[in-house]
Structure 1
Amino acid sequence: MSESTERVAVVTGGSLGIGEAISTLLLHLGWRVHVLARRASSCAHAAHDGCIVHDVDIRDIDAIKESADTVASSSGHVDALVLCAGVGYPTPLVSVSRAQYDELCDTNVAGAVFSTQAFAPLLRDGEAVITFVSSIAGRRGFADWSLYCASKHALEGFAASIREEFRARRIRVTCIQPGSVDTPSYDHLPPEEKKEFMDARSIAELTVAAIRLPRQACVETLFINNAAGDL
């Protein structure tokens, strides 16, 4: 069933994986969805009437601000800000480089921080939801993934802090913590190694359900692990 077209979402990283699945579900519900991604124009739902694409590198703070200005001009407000843009790969300590540190932290942390800052004025008081798509790595540590885990732990800390900051505006903040999900990040793995992975739509359905809760309720943290356990 379609919802009012006045409902507006901004989804960073909305062209692939979990972000694409979230964008698709919201579009099917009748939401107007602004997708921010480096290749947003080539995403599967770019031609949908309710989809507005912004070709933006989430690490480019000026470009994020320009996108926020565009959203303000075209939509006027935001009901759901979904921070899904991210990058992850193993970084054994012995070979960690500053370039890897910068890429992971600039994307996973700074990208989320400054996207939140840019779109905060557009969030509707008493209605809006900010959703961070984090990871199991934001609550646990995994050998050889130290930088990724550090970035996701930092994201969790940021989310916990701004949750309190936004309470006065009755804007809810949710952290989604999925285990291993079959996204393009794992295209290099053979199918047998991903047989226990979750699909992106499963995470998207739960995320959208949390976004659509009545304004009096907030899922602050949603941990979705693989049925087989930590992978």
Structure 2
Amino acid sequence: MKSILLTGCSKGIGKAVLDKLIELEKYRVYALSKNVHSIDLSVPNVHVYPCDLANANETEEVAKKIIEDSGGIDILVNNAGIGLFKKVEDISLKEWSEVLAINLTATFILTKTVMSKMKENNSGKIINITSDADHIGFAEGSLYCASKFAVRGFADSIRDELKGTGISVTTIGPGRVDTYFNGKKPGDRPISLQASQVAAQVVHVISMEDTCGIERIYLKSTLE
């Protein structure tokens, strides 16, 4: 049974991914989330670890604990992320630092932590949930876009570093999704992508043979 480390799984896309993995009953999931109250702690093969990804030291400690408990992670899904949309002059340094800490630094820490065991096994998958904003900038999106551009660049770079190791690196960039993101709630954007649709693509990548990798997926609602 392969082990998956999944971040940001208390709601939205992460929760939808977790639900699909639970249905499959094929994986051992190590769920990392700041808010764990909405996660069913009684589900077999789901292990929940509370963690504030904005805190780099805490993230590193929890990641090492998961490696210790699991014996190694086969698949990493960097899903957790936040958005903040303001004009540049209205963004505080604290806001800038928090978004980058969660969206980018946590991705770096978790990737670095799981990678050595993947190399030993000559297999592994690293999946990063970015956004269609990982390659297109827009007004009041400077902070969010900077974080997502950076994750895409990070993923592209480590993919090149990992050639020949059996480890695949995938970015999945959805457009607008009908979730709690940016102060909304499910139902506010009915014609946007559904979390389950994005989750289906994540599970598709997870389920692929180890010797075949998808580099990049972009998703957009056909109703928008």
160, 163, 181: which one pairs with 2:159?
163
Letter in 1 for 2:145: C
Match of 2:135 in 1: 139
Structure 1 pair 224–10 and aligned structure 2 pair: CA distance change class (3 A) = same
Q: Conserved in 1, the CA contact under 8 Å of 2:14 and 2:80? A: yes
Q: In the alignment, residue 79 of structure 2 is paired with which amino acid?
A: C
Which residue of structure 2 aligns with residue 107 of structure 1? 102
Question: 1:3 matched to which residue of 2?
Answer: none
**Displacement of 1:154:** 0.6
Which among 208, 211, 216 is matched to residue 221 of structure 1?
216
- Aligned identity (percent) is 29
CA contact (8 A) 1:21 1:204 kept: yes
**Which whole-Å CA distance do the structure 2 matches of 1:190 and 1:13 have between them?**
16
Q: Using a 3 Å threshold, how does the CA distance of structure 1 residues 92 and 175 change in structure 2: closer, same or farther?
A: same
Aligned residue pair count: 222
**Coordinate RMSD, CA, aligned:** 1.8
1:60 to 55, 71, 92: 55
Please name the residue that 1:92 is paired with. Answer: 87
Q: Does 1:44 align with 2:39?
A: yes
CA distance in 2, matches of 1:186, 1:48: 29
Query: What amino acid is the match of 1:37?
Result: S
Instruction: Give the superposition deviation at 1:186.
Output: 4.6
Q: Quick check: 2:32–2:50 contact (8 Å CA) kept in 1? A: yes
Equivalent residue in structure 2 for 1:78, among 73, 82, 87: 73
Counterpart for residue 16 of structure 2: 21
Q: 8 Å contact 1:64–1:118 — kept in the other structure?
A: no
**Is contact 1:126-1:215 (8 Å) kept?**
no
Give the structure-1-normalised TM-score: 0.89
Separation in 1 of the partners of 2:118 and 2:7? Answer: 15
Superposed displacement of residue 89, structure 1 = 2.4
Distance 1:54 1:29, change over 3 A: same
C-alpha separation in 1, matches of 2:117 and 2:86? 37
Superposed displacement of residue 28, structure 1: 1.8
TM-score norm. by structure 2 comes to 0.91
The unaligned stretches of length 5 or more in structure 1 are 1-5
Equivalent residue runs for 1:199-218 within 5 Å: 199-218=194-213
Distance 1:130 1:14, change over 3 A: same
User: How far apart, CA to CA, are the structure 1 residues paired with 2:84 and 2:192?
Assistant: 16
Shift of 1:73: 3.0
